């Protein structure tokens, strides 16, 4: 994300133009590139910090399923945005952040073991405000990415909660 931002800023590469443009052929590239593009430094930092924390928690506590959960949060979220979002250039990694946050919050409640419940509670305390982000608000913010990530995170939590080896 940071490399893309620096390249766009210093070399005027139009990376942010390759966001997800729903239901367009051009927008398909955004499924892969949109999480790398950010509108400004504030947008970048506000995705970087939770991505690092939530990603580290996911890969540290659930290493066997972390790659699959991250892949789902990245691609399935962006596919949902491409299919269902309003016509707009959707950029940023917040859909992934929401996918990881919702996975970590709901996994413990579905799994019902003490460690996972503690991880869920800590994530809920630190990132509980994500529940507000799935609702439409500021038209410049892709709440559709947030909602897509939330749905993918909950779905992933449900599908992995019954697995014996996590």
Tens-place pLDDT, residues 94-152? 999 999 999 999 999 999 999 999 999 999 999 999 999 999 989 999 999 999 999 99
Proportion of the chain above pLDDT 90, given as a percent: 89
Domains and CATH numbers, the chain: 2-161 (1.20.1540.10)
- Phi first, then psi: what are they for 90, rounded to 5°? -90, 115
Q: What is the C-alpha to C-alpha distance for residues 155 and 146, in angstroms, rounded to an integer?
A: 14
Assess contact for 91 and 107: CB atoms under 8 A: no
Q: Where are the alpha helices (DSSP H) in the chain?
A: 2-11, 30-33, 41-61, 63-71, 77-84, 94-111, 114-127, 130-133, 143-161
Q: State the DSSP H helix or E strand holding residue 26, giving kind and residue range, or none if neither.
A: none
Please check the confidence at residue 165 and state whether its pLDDT lies above 90.
no
């Amino acid at each position: 994300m940071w490399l893309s931002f620096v390249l766009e800023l210093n070399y005027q590469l139009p990376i942010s133009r390759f966001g997800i443009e729903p239901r367009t052929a051009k927008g398909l590239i955004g499924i892969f590139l949109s999480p790398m593009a950010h509108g400004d430094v504030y947008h970048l930092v506000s995705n970087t910090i939770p991505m690092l924390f939530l990603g580290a928690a996911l890969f540290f506590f659930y290493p066997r399923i972390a790659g699959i959960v991250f892949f789902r949060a990245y691609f399935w979220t962006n596919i949902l945005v491409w299919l269902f979002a309003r016509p707009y250039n959707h950029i940023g990694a917040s859909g992934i952040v929401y996918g990881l946050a919702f996975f970590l919050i709901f996994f413990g409640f579905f799994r019902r073991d003490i460690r996972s419940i503690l991880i869920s509670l800590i994530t809920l305390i630190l990132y509980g405000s994500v529940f507000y982000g799935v609702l439409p608000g500021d038209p410049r913010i892709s709440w559709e990415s947030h909602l897509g990530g939330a749905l993918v995170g909950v779905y992933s939590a449900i599908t992995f909660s019954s697995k014996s080896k996590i």
